[in-house]
Amino acid sequence: MIPEIGHLALIIAFVFAMGLAVIPMWGAVRGNSAALNLAPTLAMGVLLFVGIAFAMLAVSFLKDDFSVAVVAANSNSLLPAIFKFSALWGNHEGSLLLWVLILSGWMAAVSWFSHGLPSVMVARVLSVMGMIAVGFLAFSLLTSNPFERLLPNIPLDGNDLNPLLQDPGLIIHPPLLYMGYVGLSVPFAFAIAALLGGRLDASWARWSRPWTNVAWGFLSLGIMLGSWWAYYELGWGGWWFWDPVENASFMPWLMGTALVHSLAVTEKRGVFRAWTVLLAIFAFSLSLLGTFLVRSGVLTSVHAFASDPERGLFILIFLALVIGGSLLLYALRAPTVASRINYTAVSRESLLMVNNLVFTVSTIIVLLGTLFPLVMDAFSLGKYSVGPPYFNAVFVPLMALVMPFMAVGPLSRWREDSAARWLHELLVPGAVVVVFALALPLLFGARFNVWIALAVLLSGWVAIGVLKDLWRRLGVGSGYGLRWQTLTPSFLGMATAHLGFASVVMGAVVVTQLNEERDLLMKVGDVEFLGGYRFELTALSRQAGPNYMADQAVFEITQGDKAIATLVPEKRRYFASGQMMTEAAIDGSVWRDLYIALGEPVEEGAWAVRLQFKPMVRWLWLGGALIGLGALLTVADRRYRRQSTSQSAAIAEATGLAG
């Protein structure tokens, strides 16, 4: 019964979504306020019934109902309960349901927090999101029904969840990533609604901005967790592979980064309007493209669950409709909303434009490298793969290019500023950073490394820009006490995210430059030195886990006379699938990680072992977390709370930018 209830709920949700896509939009065209005001109710209906469907599938997983095809294929009675639950989204059908659930969650949030907005705007936004929901619910119901039964031959037990996915990382990584991915549909819907209404002003940017920041923040956290998961779970100790599936989530992030900054200009100054709308359309289109790449089976990846061409075709058509439709609308409406340039070359607007250029170009570069093999294959021009060297060669210089501007941006003034003033503000801090960059690597390492010096220089420059801004805002030394009230959540969020970016750059460069890695054969009693640490293999044993058998190796790590850690890496064999899994053991700290992974037994009592010394690798994820949390923090800003219509209209009027 339970799966049937779920299926029925999903169908009802589809009907509600159809209503949401059509009725309020019709109301907006005809000026029918009853139809307009139905939008929030319909959105809640979608959430309610998708929620029921999701709960029913969760119950099926937790109760080991192997008559349901996805449960039989992706769960097992021996699986711990928490993994039975997360197995729900460890497969194509279930993850799609999670996608729709999160989309309806965003719709409900928009209708909940938008009391101050004109009802016609809310109706249009929700209606656009309703159209997206129609697309994805149809996709789920027609090609990927999660409630399909295996009758009458019900399997006795399930196939098990892929061991790689039996990990706490999988419990939170996909939902966070989807929050970001799907969250980008909100600025998209706002952009489309604004184009439809022909009203594209500063107040529109103010409504759209907090949603964009939140979605982008979640996307940052999701990507960060994915990288962290790959690091400890795949057993290679790598943290970014330029894998097409990683790129699929990274492209919306890059575009989202441009959007977040461009929205700031549109909100504060009313310029970049058409461009901002275009970025919002592209950011969400790239989310959809990512979904297509991951779900259509064109890619070789751990995320490419067994899939069939029909699904790929469905998403491709949907993608074409969304991108084509919104660009057509843009072409028809954007000329009427274009703004005139009313700023000079030396101004905050120009600096933010540099950000936009760099991040847009970065997106195009990643897109090119990701799609190139697919396009060549589609036209039968040969099978290619594009490796990390390409991405590193092009992406790294671009990031280095944007960093000098990052420090100046927050200190600069809107509209018109002077280079002399920037020099005055940043000359002393800049000199300090240069000295630091030259001296610091010498203090720590024996050899001078030019890349690390550059990383310290650029990251330090970004950090000093943030600190200088903080200093100035607080009015240190002005004699009037510290002005704490100037530290708004907006500012703190920006500062946190920028410091996070500097931290990511430091971590990435240092671990790439100073990483030490050794693959070798070890027996009990063997000793190896790496990064100044002594690794001794002291014991080998065999242990049973809940649903696997593990070979364990015990390593004692010492530095001089000091005991540092005991690490126990494992090689697991899972019962249900017979699949082998490397469970790496890591001793982590702020300054370095020690990483041990078992390869395979080579001869009696000897194992292939990979030892790694990874300095400052944690700065990467720390930085990623700061970027995400910084973005989320900005929403606490008071100006987003007071969104009454009259006020935003007044602001728009005062700045001479009304529709």
Partner 1 sequence: MKAHRRNRLGLILFISLGLSVTIGLTLYALSQNINMFFTPSQVAGGEVPKGQHFRIGGMVKDGSIAREDDSLSVNFVTTDFISEVPIHYVGILPDLFAEGEGIVAEGRLDEQGVLIATQVLAKHDENYMPPEVAAALEGNTPRSAAPYQP
Interface contacts to partner 1, rule CB under 8 A:
162, 164, 235, 297-298, 300-302, 304, 306-308, 340-342, 344-345, 357, 361, 365, 368-369, 372-373, 382-387, 389-390, 393-394, 398, 519-521, 577-582, 597, 599-600, 602-603, 608, 610
Shortest Cβ distance from residue 537 to partner 1 (Å)?
15
Q: For partner 1, give the closer residue by CB, 300 or 589.
A: 300
Least distance in Å: CB of 409 to partner 1?
18
> Which parts of 145-201 fold into alpha helices (H)?
168-183, 185-197
Reference 134, options 26, 18, 45, 52; nearest CA is 18
Q: How far is CA 512 from CA 233, 440, 509, 616, in A?
A: 19, 17, 5, 10
Query: Whose Cβ is closer to partner 1: residue 307's or residue 449's?
Result: 307
Q: Min. distance of Cβ 383 from partner 1 in angstroms?
A: 4
Say which amino acid occupies 330: Y
Residue 123 CB, nearest approach to partner 1 (Å): 38
- Residue 168's CB is within 10 A of a number of other CB atoms, namely 12
Q: How far is the CB of 596 from partner 1 (least distance, A)?
A: 12
Backbone angles phi, psi at 571, to 5 degrees: -120, 115
User: 452, 472 in Cβ contact below 8 A?
Assistant: no
Give the other-Cβ count within 10 Å of 618's Cβ.
20
For residue 317, the tally of other CB atoms under 10 A from its CB is 11
Q: Which is nearer to partner 1, 349 or 425 (CB)?
A: 349
Q: 588 exposed, middle or buried (CB, 10 Å; 0-12, 13-18, 19+)?
A: middle
CA dihedral 127, 133, 134, 135 (to 10 degrees): 120
State yes or no: cis peptide before 152, omega within 30 of 0.
yes
**CA 129 to CA 657: how far, in whole Å?**
27
Let me know if 51 is exposed, middle or buried by CB neighbors in 10 A (0-12, 13-18, 19+): middle
Q: Which is nearer to partner 1, 552 or 577 (CB)?
A: 577
- In the complex, least distance from residue 426 CB atom to partner 1, rounded to whole angstroms: 22
Shorter beta-carbon distance to partner 1: residue 19 or 369:
369
Q: Which is nearer to partner 1, 340 or 562 (CB)?
A: 340
CB of 387 to partner 1, least distance (A): 5
CA distance 280 to 525: 59
Dist CA 428 CA 533 (whole Å): 40
Q: Which residues pair with 550 in a beta bridge?
A: 543, 572
Closer residue to partner 1, CB minimum distance, 502 or 584: 584
Phi-psi domain of 268 (left: phi exceeds 0; alpha: psi -120 through 50; beta: other):
alpha
Nearer to partner 1 by Cβ, of 300 and 418: the residue is: 300
Give the residue with the Cβ less far from partner 1, 365 or 509: 365
CB nearer to partner 1: pick between 46 and 165: 165
Cβ 23 vs Cβ 42: under 8 Å: yes
Q: How far is the CB of 200 from partner 1 (least distance, A)?
A: 21
Copy the structure tokens of residue 459.
């990251």
Number of Cα atoms under 13 Å in the Cβ half of residue 123 = 23
* C-alpha closest to that of 452 among 408, 508, 493, 398: 508
Nearest distance in Å: CB 167, partner 1: 14
Contact residues for 518 (Cβ-Cβ < 8 A; gap 6+):
528, 530, 610, 611, 612
- Nearest approach, Cβ of 597 to partner 1 (angstroms)? 7
Minimum CB distance to partner 1, residue 233 (Å): 11
Q: Which is nearer to partner 1, 317 or 580 (CB)?
A: 580
